[in-house]
Structure 1
């Protein structure tokens, strides 16, 4: 899109990292056949053409270089780090509108990056990555969520059962499906959020993520497609996820075809449908929240073939979405939820980058602004979704699973989820991590609206008072900004 401020940052990195390192010596490919060289030229040429197309459409001059002179390992790294270059472009984020953030041309650039990395499989010496398109989600039952550092994970091989309180963690990470990695990253993200007897006993906790083979560009192009969607947008992989695991929440004996059309099924009563949906709870981190949005869209699309609109709309309100670093992108949302974020009171130089690159206009309206209680709570127009923006501390020191002090590096200006999920020894107040754990527990047990903020009997009295004060000062989102 003409004038997209992000284009200049991508252009600068491409010039420095790819164009300026191009060298005739890069054409040397030991053991390469004539066909290998032709395929290399074609895949590099296609990706460079896509990059230059983005530059031209943004009003920036294209870069000229011979495809055979490109260092492919550096080009692969460039394709994988596109979102990182945008994340670090703090000055450009200041100029970003929703229109630029969700630019169709940027989506196409991410898509081209995904195609390029897949085309490189087994073709580039020293390239450790192997990517595939259209991978299915990995889906696990967390056997002991009360102790994530020691838990086992069981692959989910059958449909989930309505009637059980269900919490699905939708994570953005790409990891190998081995227990040590699952333990490491789930604990790294969620810490001791579920360390009470409710989780695992009354609430079943699951983990969903894309496998390590999914191209990074595909994840981000899907996220932008989700943000730009007007109706029930979902991909084939989302349909397969719902078809395998969530059908019993929609209807009895439900059978679908490959296009998400209902072939057979017995609708539930209006009350039963609402009860089923009340047992569907999702927590998404960053782009993982976009996955959950698509699953919910799939559920709504299928349910719309079985239930009257008013009945379905009422039931959809019972589905709950909690998130961190990903805000609602519509003023009226089908689901209910609480959405957390962190930012500095003075964010002129350092903004929360991923919210700002996906949802810049809402970020400016709901961000923390040195409010009392160190948080700002905003109520969305749908009256069912709350945004909780908390004060970002300057440092993050936690106790790790070996009971050792650990400083979290690369805080990404508030994007690191540990700000939300574990007490911070560098901060005088850890109210927000208590609030988060409490919201997840209440929501997963079926509470909705302000009831999800109700304090636990085990909470510190100071936290209970802060919670009540923060809710009392909640703001309301409006088209013209925030008003008390």
Structure 2
């Protein structure tokens, strides 16, 4: 898109982090690069040209493929960490189809590079844009949140409540590691109950799934909210098939060819038990899976019946806002931002939803009215924003420091999965700095936070799991502190309407 400010940002970063750190052989010397590098630079220059930006000339530089790979894997980081300094950012720029194509191109470069390295016998992680979700059934062992992960090979039954937790982390199919990731992000959300009556499933990506594909998928979902991928359809077909009918069979085109559908009212009623929680990019994944499910449902039910059934589904999202003016499902959206430092916004939200962010962010003035800011959308969904905790040091319920490896806004070592390592080994290195940022899910799930942020999240989260809707999700607060019992209800009473 013409005049997209992200184009100049990427151009400047390429000059700074790639060209200026490469060997220049002079204007008369032409350097030959490999086909992978040439193909990415060609696509990068096409993006720059379409945005009205100068193009890159690497013909006189010897460029390290490691530096180019680092640049490709840092595009999203550049956007997020510089968005507040860019002029006139709008949603048209942040979801530009040319920008999405650039993320696809960077992912393809990294995928092909990893394949090339492995063919040469080098040890490197194989990346791929072909993937499926990894699904675990979570078995709660006590009321302190201790869990056991079991591979989910059987679709959930449409009886009672089933919670599907979509997480953006990438890790192998390892029970212990999946349990650590689940505990790391969800923290104290489940403590106080064994949740025996709730079937809980944990969904994450495989380690071969590139972050650049995730970024492209999120931007594509924001731009085209009705679309879904083959992985989304596979998930909907394999995990939610029992919500559609009994013994359903599909052909290779995802068409239902046999089985038994439910009575209309039984189908609509069963969908009340489907609860979903998604964190950041994973909330967009969940949205697409629901779109795929809707496509399947409309093959055997009338559109009006499907609409009623889908409205019984609740999707809770953290760090993602409504993707449509009128969503198919009930949406509840959480966010947290720093009220003390205006130069420290919730960077991901400001990048993805630049016009919406100023409306919904919470300020010190808002705290004079209520401890959280609730905005109601035209569709009747809720956007719940709470201030970040004053302290970025967070402890779990056993008094241990919460590991900060999964700080989504720092630039982590790619595909590092050792949960014992801190995210930042050197505070002097800005690329590994642990940013104090509202994007971290632990702001709302950490057990030690006797703040409204944690209380509001846990109250709404558990009330939704209990089947409550509307104003009832802001009922009695999940806290033993009498000073906070009415906090969610007071915030709901002062809710505002989202400006059209």
TM-score normalized by the length of structure 1: 0.89
**Does 2:187 match 1:187?**
no
Quick check: 1:102–1:358 contact (8 Å CA) kept in 2? yes
Measured in 1, the distance between the counterparts of 2:143 and 2:113 equals 40
5+ unaligned residues in a row in structure 1: which ranges?
26-36, 480-484
1:66 aligned residue: 59
**Does 2:400 match 1:399?**
no
**Does 2:235 match 1:241?**
yes
Q: Secondary structure at the match of 1:207?
A: strand
1:443 aligned residue: 464
Of 235-244 and 361-370, deviating more is 361-370
**Does 2:496 match 1:475?**
yes
Measured in 1, the distance between the counterparts of 2:473 and 2:262 equals 26
Quick check: 1:238–1:298 contact (8 Å CA) kept in 2? yes
Alpha carbons of 1:300 and 1:407: their partners in 2 closer, same or farther (altered >3 Å)? Answer: closer
Quick check: 1:353–1:412 contact (8 Å CA) kept in 2? no
1:267 aligned residue: 261
The Cα shift of 1:67 comes to 9.1
Quick check: 2:314–2:329 contact (8 Å CA) kept in 1? yes
The Cα shift of 1:55 comes to 1.3
2:15 aligned residue: 15
Q: Secondary structure at the match of 2:454?
A: helix
Quick check: 1:170–1:292 contact (8 Å CA) kept in 2? yes
Alpha carbons of 1:309 and 1:93: their partners in 2 closer, same or farther (altered >3 Å)? Answer: farther
2:114 aligned residue: 121
Q: Secondary structure at the match of 2:193?
A: coil
1:352 aligned residue: 346
2:455 to 416, 426, 434: 434
**Does 2:153 match 1:161?**
no
Q: Secondary structure at the match of 1:281?
A: strand
2:290 to 282, 292, 296: 296
2:484 aligned residue: 463
1:34 aligned residue: none
**Does 2:424 match 1:413?**
no
2:415 aligned residue: none
Measured in 2, the distance between the counterparts of 1:254 and 1:387 equals 37
Of 303-312 and 42-51, deviating more is 303-312
2:167 aligned residue: 171
Measured in 2, the distance between the counterparts of 1:224 and 1:405 equals 34
Measured in 1, the distance between the counterparts of 2:53 and 2:144 equals 48
After superposition, residues 16-31 of structure 1 pair within 5 angstroms as 16-23=16-23
Measured in 2, the distance between the counterparts of 1:226 and 1:348 equals 29
Measured in 2, the distance between the counterparts of 1:8 and 1:411 equals 24
Of 2-11 and 204-213, deviating more is 2-11
The Cα shift of 1:66 comes to 3.3
CA offsets 1:17-65 (integer angstroms, 9 cap, x no match): 111222379xxxxxxxxxxx99x71111111111111111111101100
CA offsets 1:246-279 (integer angstroms, 9 cap, x no match): 1111222222233332223333223211222111
Quick check: 1:247–1:254 contact (8 Å CA) kept in 2? yes
Quick check: 1:90–1:349 contact (8 Å CA) kept in 2? no
1:482 aligned residue: none
Q: Secondary structure at the match of 2:488?
A: helix
1:337 to 331, 336, 350: 331
**Does 2:123 match 1:130?**
no
Alpha carbons of 1:154 and 1:20: their partners in 2 closer, same or farther (altered >3 Å)? Answer: same
The Cα shift of 1:95 comes to 2.5
Query: Which ranges of 4 or more aligned residues in structure 1 deviate by more than 4 Å?
Result: 124-127, 145-150, 405-409, 456-459
Of Structure 1 and Structure 2, which has the larger fraction of its residues in helix? 1
The Cα shift of 1:152 comes to 2.3
Q: Secondary structure at the match of 1:88?
A: helix
Measured in 2, the distance between the counterparts of 1:48 and 1:430 equals 48
2:416 aligned residue: none
The Cα shift of 1:90 comes to 3.4
1:33 aligned residue: none
1:57 aligned residue: 50
5+ unaligned residues in a row in structure 2: which ranges?
26-30, 405-432
The Cα shift of 1:350 comes to 1.7
Q: Secondary structure at the match of 2:127?
A: coil
Alpha carbons of 1:245 and 1:93: their partners in 2 closer, same or farther (altered >3 Å)? Answer: farther
Measured in 1, the distance between the counterparts of 2:400 and 2:65 equals 41
The Cα shift of 1:234 comes to 0.9
Alpha carbons of 1:245 and 1:230: their partners in 2 closer, same or farther (altered >3 Å)? Answer: closer
Quick check: 1:164–1:203 contact (8 Å CA) kept in 2? yes
Measured in 2, the distance between the counterparts of 1:12 and 1:416 equals 28
Q: Secondary structure at the match of 1:330?
A: coil
2:205 to 202, 205, 210: 210
